[in-house]
Structure 1
Amino acid sequence: MELGSRRRGRPKGFAGLAPPVTIQALDRALDLLCVLAPSEGMTLSEIATELDQSVATMSRVLATLERRGFVEMSAATQTWHIGVEAFRLGSAFLRRTNVVERSRPVMRALMMETGETSNLGIERSGQILFVSQVETYESIRAFFPPGTLSPMHASGIGKALLSSYDDDRLNRLLRQMPLQPFTEKTLSSLPDLQAELRRTRERGYSFDDEERTVGMRCVATVIRDVNGEAVAGISVSGPTQRMSDAFIPKIGELIQKGAIEISRNLGAHGGLF
């Protein structure tokens, strides 16, 4: 038997076979984590109802996850929350690339210069996954904690990334993308979105004008790697009354400058926008 030639990560002979049967108990545990992660805490009965499972089944799953540190319960409110071990493992995703580390100083500078929250996001399965944030000190602010997902067509970072893709990739994403309207200003028709992507390319940054949330605006642009590919987007977000029409071009200038700095640090060269 030639053990040394076996492909790592897959059983021998896996290629070409039908997908293996999934493990039901593992599916339930992962479903539970996915439901719990975006919440502010859930009771046992709420979890069971949300997942259409019995209380007894969910109690066993929670006990198992709690023992491993993936969930924890607040004794005061009897609600369950994501545990530190889930955070630790999730953070391994961010260590796959140094774009987060390279972006943090620029994001802090953008927050100080504009007075608004700076965000970093990447595209995952046709959505924007926020991976880092530097919050403003203002009490009223945009809030996209790491792990938040947002539709691309109603996101500053999303539109910036879409505007940078080649025609094949862009058309593939647009065909799969439901252009759901969130506010009266959401670009929910394909011609409107395509026109906005053209404007984004021309000025070098995108502008989300209350398209996801009424009262909030966002300016964003792309970060490129050594191959010149857009690997992430960086943005500044805040309330409409502070991000006035007159202030938007200045934010656009600052965010382009910041994105160029990060891109250079990632090895990018030549024309970036």
Structure 2
Amino acid sequence: MPAEVQQGFGRAASVLAVIGASTTGPMRASDIARATGLGPSTTARLLATLDELGYVAKVGDMPGYTIGTTVLRLASEGLNQNPVHRESRAIAEELANRTGFSANVAVRDGNRLIYLCHFEGRHAPKSHTMIGMSQPLHASALGKCLLLDTTEDERRELLGELPVYTAATIATQEALTRELERVRQAGAAVEDQELALGRLGTAAPIRGPEGGVVAAISISGRLSLLREHGIDRLTEDAVEAADRISVGLGLITAVAHD
């Protein structure tokens, strides 16, 4: 691929990333240029092309840009082609409806996790979807499950120094290794205010045909409500849902604990 073409793709990707990360609505071209470090004329040309192709769009008479329908269509197609999403979607939705809490399915993407499914129960309404969003691995129940097949050396290289989000966040690789051993023995992970205060969650690993961890499913919500409903019972619900998804993915043998 010629260098100038590769550079063009990179610039377009950076523009889309900045627009997608906006938390204040549509972004003006000047703000996009500032955030990407591109010149105003380069930014204007990229936006014109991306707008023509449907990757970005203007909302009514507003001056800024948002992610366009082409990106939404591609994201939907990508999810529908993903076997974990196909097998877990109905089960996660039923889990959210039955428990009343958020049910999430995630896979590992490098040193982060990415949400593939997100359903809200009556106790956990949100104004946004978690699908496509990422979270740190070491500070979430989902992430702990997704790290089960890694060694401590692999985690050190993958995660490096562990960011701390609350007083309960696992802060060292040694502590993470001890926590993952508990998760292996229990068959499930708990996240108790490690990423955000007032939040509690439980998760179980989803395994592929060969028994390796390919995803994880969680139940999460407000600390007081989850404790009121019983974290042990909700953990059993998550483990059962993970087992059903694993069977749907082709797992036919039991997985032994180390």
Please report the TM-score for the alignment, with normalisation by the length of structure 1. Answer: 0.85
Residue equivalent to 2:163: 180
SS at match of 1:154: coil
Q: Which residue of 1 aligns with 2:240?
A: 257
Taking the aligned partners of 1:35 and 1:235, their CA distance within structure 2 comes to 29
Q: Percent identity?
A: 28
Query: Which amino acid is the alignment partner of residue 122 of structure 2?
Result: Y
Query: SS where residue 184 of structure 2 aligns?
Result: helix
- Give 3-state SS (helix, strand or coil) of 2:227's partner: coil
Instruction: Look up the match of 1:68.
Output: 53
Whether 1:156 and 2:138 are equivalent positions in the alignment is no
Give the distance between the partners of 1:105 and 1:92, measured in 2 at CA: 17
Q: Which residue of 1 aligns with 2:75?
A: 90
Aligned: 1:128 with 2:113:
yes
Match of 2:176 among 179, 182, 193: 193
Residue 203 (structure 1) aligned to one of 166, 186, 194: 186
How big is the shift at 1:76? 4.1
Distance change >3 Å, CA 22–CA 59, structure 1 → 2 = closer
Contact 1:141 1:238 in 2 (8 A): no
Distance 1:231 1:105 in 2: 18
Partner of 1:247: 230
Unaligned runs of 5+ in 2: none
Q: Are the structure 2 counterparts of residues 75 and 166 from structure 1 closer, same or farther at C-alpha, using a change threshold of 3 Å?
A: closer
Tell whether the 8 Å contact from 2:102 to 2:124 is kept in structure 1 after alignment.
Answer: no
* SS of residue paired to 1:88: helix
Higher CA-based Rg: 1
Once the two structures are superposed, the pairs formed by residues 1-273 of structure 1 within 5 Å of their partners are 21=3, 23=5, 24-39=7-22, 40-138=25-123, 145-163=130-148, 165-167=149-151, 170-177=152-159, 178-244=161-227, 247-272=230-255
Q: After superposition, what is the alpha-carbon deviation per residue over 1:151-185, rounded to whole angstroms, capped at 9, x for unaligned?
A: 1001211101212x053xx5313333131001111
Aligned equivalents of 1:69, 1:101: Cα separation in 2: 26
Runs of 4+ in 1 over 4 A off after TM superposition: 139-144
The separation in 1 between residues aligned to 2:126 and 2:227, in whole angstroms, is 15
Deviations along 1:78-104, one digit per CA (max 9) or x if unpaired, are 221101101222334324432111111
1:111-131: CA deviation from partner (whole Å, max 9, x where unpaired): 122210111100111210111
Query: How many residues end up aligned between the 2 structures?
Result: 252
Cα distance, 1:199 vs structure 2: 1.3
Code of the residue aligned with 1:173 in structure 2: it is R
Choose 68-77 or 147-156, whichever is displaced more: 68-77
Counterpart code for 1:223: I
Shifted more, 83-92 versus 225-234: the winner is 83-92
- 1:265 deviates by 1.2
Q: TM-score, normalised by structure 2?
A: 0.90
Cα distance 1:215–1:143, how it changes in 2: closer, same or farther (>3 A)? farther
- Which residue of the partner structure matches residue 16 of structure 1? none
Q: Secondary structure at the match of 1:63?
A: helix
Equivalent pair of 2:113/2:137 in contact (CA under 8 Å): yes
RMSD over aligned Cα atoms: 2.1
User: Unmatched 5+ residue regions in structure 1?
Assistant: 1-18
Higher fraction of helix: 2
CA contact (8 A) 2:101 2:221 kept: yes
- Which amino acid in structure 2 is aligned with residue 157 of structure 1? L
| Secondary structure in 1 matching 2:236 | helix
Q: Distance in 1 between matches of 2:129 and 2:202?
A: 14
